[in-house]
Structures are given as structure tokens and as C-alpha cells.
């Protein structure tokens, strides 16, 4: 049973700004991805991000073997993508990228063409926490900024 302090901590942690991302990897002809919400910049020089994923998820071996992962930010109203990459009810051996346009930047990790922003990363650290998640830290090899930022830059704003 949780005490009130633990509940208050969890409620507060859920208020930290974030978004929904497809965390994806590809290795030896197999690819998969899941929706994650815990993504943070952890360094600007060199550029790095950290991502928390559920411990023991089947994307982990692909990330460890390929030494790379991709992040595609998903709009909250994009229900098709959120459903295809939801962890619940999807058989392990299915490819959630079927019928979804993808692109590759540097590492070969699949990225969603319609992603708001894209990050292609090389794994620099993997941390197995004493909790329900594991952490991957990746050096950003290539990126495509959010479309609205690109449009604003191109129009001189």
C-alpha cells in the first residue's frame, strides 16, 4: 500500500513536462518501437538525451545489439500511431512500423516520417535501475527539428 507521500511524489513527477515519443530500434532485420514519455536532454556538448523505458521490454535487446535508437515525437492527437506502438495487447513479433512511412538518418533506426521531431542516437550508456524502468543515454547523431520551428526559421521569425 502506498502512503500519501509516495502518491504525492508520483502526482508531482507526472506534472514534469514531457511528450509522447516512439522509441525504436532495428537490428538483424527486426525492428520494433514503443511509446515512451520519459525523454530528457542530458547534455548539449556533446548533444545527448536520456530515455526511460519499461524494464525487460523486447525493444531492449535490439537497442543493445544495434547500439542505437531513434526517437520520433508524436502528437497527442495522432491516435493511430499511439495505438500501433502501445505496449498492451501487441504480440511481440509484430512489426508496428508496417504500413507506417519511416525514414532513416544515420544509425539505421526507424523514425516516423510524420514525427514532430526526430532524434537518431548512438547508445553511450545503459543503466539498469532498481525500479520498473531502465535508462538509455544516447549521443544525438542527427536530428530533424519540429516542423513548426523549421517553418518559423525559414520565414525569418
Question: Residue 70 and residue 113: Cα distance in Å, rounded?
Answer: 12
Residue 147 confidence class, pLDDT cut points 50, 70, 90: low
Show me where the domains of the chain are located.
Answer: 19-154
Q: Which of 32-46, 70-84, 85-99 has the lowest mean pLDDT?
A: 85-99
Residue 60 in contact with residue 27, Cβ under 8 Å?
no
Q: How much is the pTM?
A: 0.83
pLDDT over 90, % of the chain: 58
Tally of CB atoms within 10 A around 108: 14
Domain 19-154 belongs in CATH node 3.40.630.30: no
Amino acid at each position: 500500500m502506498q502512503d500519501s507521500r509516495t502518491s504525492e511524489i508520483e502526482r508531482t513527477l507526472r506534472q514534469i513536462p514531457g511528450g509522447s515519443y516512439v522509441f525504436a530500434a532495428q537490428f538483424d532485420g527486426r525492428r520494433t518501437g514503443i511509446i515512451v514519455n520519459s525523454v530528457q536532454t542530458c547534455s548539449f556538448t556533446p548533444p545527448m538525451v536520456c530515455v526511460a523505458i519499461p524494464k525487460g521490454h523486447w525493444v531492449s535487446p535490439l537497442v543493445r545489439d544495434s547500439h542505437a535508437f531513434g526517437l520520433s515525437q508524436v502528437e497527442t492527437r495522432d491516435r493511430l500511431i499511439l495505438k500501433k506502438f502501445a505496449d498492451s495487447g501487441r504480440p511481440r513479433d509484430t512489426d508496428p512500423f508496417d504500413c507506417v512511412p519511416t525514414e532513416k538518418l544515420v544509425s539505421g533506426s526507424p523514425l516516423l516520417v510524420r514525427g514532430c521531431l526526430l532524434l537518431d542516437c548512438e547508445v553511450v550508456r545503459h543503466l539498469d535501475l532498481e525500479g520498473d524502468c531502465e535508462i538509455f543515454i544516447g549521443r544525438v547523431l542527427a536530428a530533424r527539428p519540429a516542423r513548426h520551428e523549421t517553418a518559423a526559421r525559414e520565414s525569418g521569425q
